[in-house]
Structure 1
Amino acid sequence: MQSNQRGAFSGCFGINRGHKLYPYIKGVSHNFQKQYDPKEAIEKQKIQQKQRYYERNIRRLKYARRQNDVASERKFSQAIRGYQSKLREIVKNNDFLTRQYDREQIISPNRAVIEQFRRDIRYNMTRKKITDKVSDPISKPELNKITKNFRKSGGKIFMGPEVDERLKNIGAEASVIGDDIMMISSGAGRAAIHEELIHIKQVRYYGAPSSDKDVFLREIEAGKLLLKNATKWNLTHKEIEDTKLLIKKYTMI
């Protein structure tokens, strides 16, 4: 056992080792354990380390993409797809490897909120998209100004790639959770922000919606308030027309 460096970093029972002890009786015991070729094991480890390298680079690029502006997004996305292609190839060519998608993800500060949004989606109130035509995104200074009172009262705003993806999946520009969380897509316009602030006030006044009918009535009320304040809030012609269509849609349901 001394030659095997028991307990040492690279020896038997060291860190990340899978060694086990079995009783041995001379002339009676037999070794039925699967035998491995040391050279083959080392080669497989090298290939697996290459897989880990690709995964690390995907995480690094995803984090860099989040920190940079929209203009740089395409460059980072192409680089990410390049490493993902290499991962698919190395897994395809080595049957002892499996694709581990969780190793390609970065930890998101929005993850808990995203999960809550996923669970509570049934009666969520959202600013729905009417067409695929992109709204004029609200500027960061204007967003901060409009939501100042909401944030002072303890409200939180969540934005980012995960939020964009979740809202895209339900065809919305923005949404609320309860009376203190707003989720806003990167392409949301003024109407979406004002509408979600109205929904926040509705929840604080009426309580959480308890049925689809309740949601529809609140959407209609919010739409009418948007039209009433369209000039004051400087809504675009598209936002006004979309709001009219949404009111009509919810009225006919």
Structure 2
Amino acid sequence: MSIPAFGLGTFRLQGQVLIDSVSTGLALGYRVIDTAQIYENEAEVGEAIAASGIARDELFITSKIWVANFAKERLIDSLKESLRKLQTDYLDLTLIHWPSPKNQVPVEEFMGALLEAKQLGLTRLIGVSNFTVDLMQQAIAAVGAEHIATHQIELHPYLQNRKVVEFAQSQGIHITSYMTLAYGEVLKDPIIQQIAERRQASAAQVALAWAMQSGYSVIPSSTKHANLQSNLKACTLILSEADMALIAGLDRNQRLTNPKGIAPHWD
């Protein structure tokens, strides 16, 4: 199995707003849904999927294990609870959401439990999120790079995270970009706007296409039908080498997600 290039994120969406977003996305043709235990919306995601009538094998569902559930005796039970909420027998991808704060649970322990979940058929693929190079090395030592399907990280034109990307790719680990639009900040960028005008595209389509052409997967979210529909068009937008080089030059190491007490010491 490979990680699909384009999907629908659900961060910060809850209740009916979340149900409407996922339902609209599925109706428009989205088939990849990304959620997490800490988002507290897995049940609503499951409700929207069930109501869609789309066959399970047509979907790719991702969730993430929260730090409170990393201990060996907790991880698999928490994943089973996520499956119950999502109304499915398995996930396509399960990620460790953040490193364990102050290494309270060793990487070897939670990666071993996650690999066990895969062996039990609870998830088809496993991976990590928000890891540094050192933490990725520890994860690889624990379970082998061949079992780490993707590393999901904050990655957008203003934070291109090259050191982490290069190490992951050197190990055959795919990159998934979250916050690819930087909370909308990159949509205001003059260079991205100029490229969008030349390509007769939206700034969001340009940023998403840049990430996908760089070899990353993307999971943008929206509550608006028009934006959900427009974002899909990024899948067919082709940027030139010159466009890609211009966007590569926008990197300013501008990190937007850095939760106190959870975030590692970034590379």
- What TM-score, normalized by structure 2, do the two folds share? 0.19
- Judging by fraction of residues, say which structure has more helix: 1
Query: Which structure is richer in relative contact order (CA contacts within 8 A, separation 6 or more)?
Result: 2
- Judging by fraction of residues, say which structure has more strand: 2
- What TM-score, normalized by structure 1, do the two folds share? 0.20
